[in-house]
Amino acid sequence: MDPIVTEASVSTPVNFYSLTLEDLKSLLKKFGKEQFRAQQIYKWVYESRITDPEQMTNLSKIFRADLPKILSFELPKVLQHLKSVDGTQKFLFDVGEGKSVEAVLIPSDDRLTLCISSEIGCNMACKFCFTGKQKLQRRLRADEIVGQFMQVNDRLEEGQRISNIVFMGMGEPLDNCEAVFKSIAVLHSPWGMNLSRKRITVSTSGLIPEMWRIADAKVRLAVSLNAPNDEIRSEVMPINKKYPLKDLLDECRRYYKETKDRITFEYVLLKGITDQVEHARMVYKLTKDIPCKINIIPFNEHPGSGYERPSDEQVGIFQKELMDLGAHVLLRRTMGRDIFAACGQLRSAFENHPGQMDISNSKLTRTIKGGKNVTDPSRREPSLR
Ligand code: SF4
């Protein structure tokens, strides 16, 4: 008897990584297949990393023959895999039409954090951000977001596990809600990668109308604060003109009220612009009634930014002032400086000079396309942007 797949024979297979278990059940139903098969496929793919239907031995022969017409298991191809001397690893993924996005794997004392991208370029145009200079070209699909995770996961050393995900790579996640929250549902699923919601952080520049979704998804909120008042914030982050600080902080209070989860404020220190003692006092005043930690991030210099990194001494003064006032402060060291540390830099270098990136001055331990790599856990707090 011929396989039953008539619809699938004429339609393009759906990318498996874009589907929650429920989505997959509905899809299989549409093709006249038993829904319990969805769990079996989920298990093969996420637990055993088997994507060849022929190896899914508990599926019937007919089902195995039909599967490639219903589902594709394609992942974004790894174009570059760079490893820093400090243990940070950067990945560049091919997302079609000559475009690429980055993900960064950051080891620290007790975690292995993956910073992933949600868009190609970004329309928020934050002045200090390298990606912000690359206008939005396309929002990623859920399978392209999950795909970044799976590709990195497949290259981990024996016994390693990605413990945390942060949406702090290229793009504003709340500008691509559908795909971002779908990917979170897939990765969180106990039948998927079973990542705890509390270990998933969505970072926003302050798209207030969409911020409720972060509480709704029960994941952690990080806010790119980056300035002590509206005047400076509107200058460095144009989104502040539309959604000013007072409204943003009110939304943060709402998030805390709903979730009881502490918020992370990211604060990039720009020399002479956001790094003064009075700025530290203003930041404290803004955030003191919100349970939070403040990550201070000395600016990661990149060509043409027009901003400078403050001296270590000034960073220390700023940090001390906040701590003396009673704030919970973490200083992020810049990691992966030898592998295009600023978010979007690797992509830019690659797309401008594919196949001939100048990495001769870096301390790269190796450049790999595809294969396994080693990790060398570092003990520092990362800086992602
Ligand atoms: S900091 Fe984030 S939101 Fe701002 S331009 Fe860069 S990627 Fe976009």
Residue 199 CB: number of other CB atoms within 10 A?
Answer: 17
* C-alpha 26 to ligand 1 mean position (Å): 36
The mean pLDDT of 75-88, rounded to a whole number, is 94
What are the catalytic residues? 102, 343
Q: What angle do CA 171, 172, 175 make, to 5 degrees?
A: 115
Q: Is the pLDDT of residue 371 over 50?
A: no
* C-alpha 363 to ligand 1 mean position (Å): 27
Q: Is the CB of 129 under 6 A from ligand 1?
A: yes
Nearest residue (CA) to ligand 1, atom 5: 132
Instruction: Among 128-132, 183-187, 272-276, name the one with the lowest average pLDDT.
Output: 128-132
Instruction: Among 21-35, 37-51, 349-363, name the one with the lowest average pLDDT.
Output: 349-363
Q: Is the CB of 298 under 6 A from ligand 1?
A: no
Q: Is the CB of 239 under 6 A from ligand 1?
A: no
Per residue in 106-160, pLDDT (tens digit) is 999 899 999 999 999 999 999 999 888 889 999 999 999 999 999 999 999 999 9
Q: Is the pLDDT of residue 6 over 60?
A: no
Q: Is the pLDDT of residue 229 over 70?
A: yes
What are the tokens at 352?
A: 């401008």
Sorting pLDDT into bands at 50, 70 and 90, what band is 177? very high
Among residues 379, 305, 381, 296, the alpha carbon closest in space to that of 342 is found at 305
Specify whether domain 77-352 bears CATH 3.20.20.70. yes
Distance CA 373, CA 367 (A): 9
Return the C-alpha torsion angle 224, 225, 231, 236, nearest 10.
-30
The mean pLDDT of 180-195, rounded to a whole number, is 96
pLDDT for residue 33: 94
List alpha helices for the chain, DSSP H: 7-10, 21-30, 37-42, 61-70, 142-153, 177-188, 212-216, 230-236, 239-242, 245-259, 277-287, 312-325, 345-352
Q: Is the CB of 225 under 6 A from ligand 1?
A: no
CATH of 12-72, one of 3.40.225.10, 1.10.150.530, 1.10.10.10, 3.40.50.1700: 1.10.150.530
* C-alpha 128 to ligand 1 mean position (Å): 9
Ligand 1 pocket: which of 101, 131, 233, 240 to mutate (most atoms within 8 A of CB): 131
Domain ranges of the chain: 12-72, 77-352
pLDDT for residue 304: 83
Instruction: Among 112-121, 236-245, 296-305, name the one with the lowest average pLDDT.
Output: 296-305
Q: 10 or 276, which is more confident?
A: 276
User: Which ligand 1 atom is the nearest neighbour of the CA of 168?
Assistant: 2
Instruction: Among 22-31, 143-152, 156-165, 355-364, name the one with the lowest average pLDDT.
Output: 355-364
Sorting pLDDT into bands at 50, 70 and 90, what band is 224? very high
Residue 315 CB: number of other CB atoms within 10 A?
Answer: 19
* C-alpha 204 to ligand 1 mean position (Å): 8
Taken in order 176, 178, 179, 182, the sign of the CA dihedral is positive
Per residue in 309-359, pLDDT (tens digit) is 999 999 999 999 999 999 999 998 766 666 655 666 666 655 655 444 433
Q: b vs e for 125-152, b when ≥16 Cβ sit within 10 Å of the residue's Cβ?
A: bbbbbbbbbbebebbbbbbbbbbbbbbb
The mean pLDDT of 197-208, rounded to a whole number, is 97
Per residue in 94-108, pLDDT (tens digit) is 999 999 999 999 999
Q: Is the CB of 171 under 6 A from ligand 1?
A: yes
Do residues 92 and 105 make contact, with C-beta atoms less than 8 angstroms apart?
A: no
Q: Is the CB of 27 under 6 A from ligand 1?
A: no
Per residue in 244-273, pLDDT (tens digit) is 999 999 999 999 999 999 999 999 999 999
Q: Which residues have C-beta within 8 Å of that of residue 184, sequence separation ≥ 6?
A: 197, 200, 202, 217, 219
* C-alpha 38 to ligand 1 mean position (Å): 37
* Helix orientation angle between 277-287 and 312-325, rounded to the nearest 10 degrees: 40
Q: Is the CB of 342 under 6 A from ligand 1?
A: no
